[in-house]
Amino acid sequence: MTCAMNAVFDFVRFAEFEILFFLFFFIAFLLFKDLVSLSLPLYVLCNF
């Protein structure tokens, strides 16, 4: 059991950068999608 836990922690420590990298891109994508969906109608309205 302890050996399995150590293996999991070693993997997380090894893949920490990749996990943070993926999370950053995922959150940035969600924020960008919301910003685009909010600003697109405003952009269209202001150009008329």
Query: pLDDT by residue (tens digit) across 1-48?
Result: 788 889 888 887 888 888 889 999 999 998 888 877 777 776 677 776
**For the chain, how big is the Rg over CA atoms in Å?**
20
Neighbours of 39 (CB within 10 A): 11
Q: Which residues are within 8 A (CB) of 12 and not within 5 positions of it... i.e. 6 or more apart?
A: 19
Q: How far apart are CA 46 and CA 38, in angstroms?
A: 13
Q: How far apart are CA 12 and CA 4, in angstroms?
A: 12
Euclidean distance between the first and the last CA atom of the chain, given in angstroms as a whole number: 66
Q: What is the pLDDT of residue 48?
A: 64
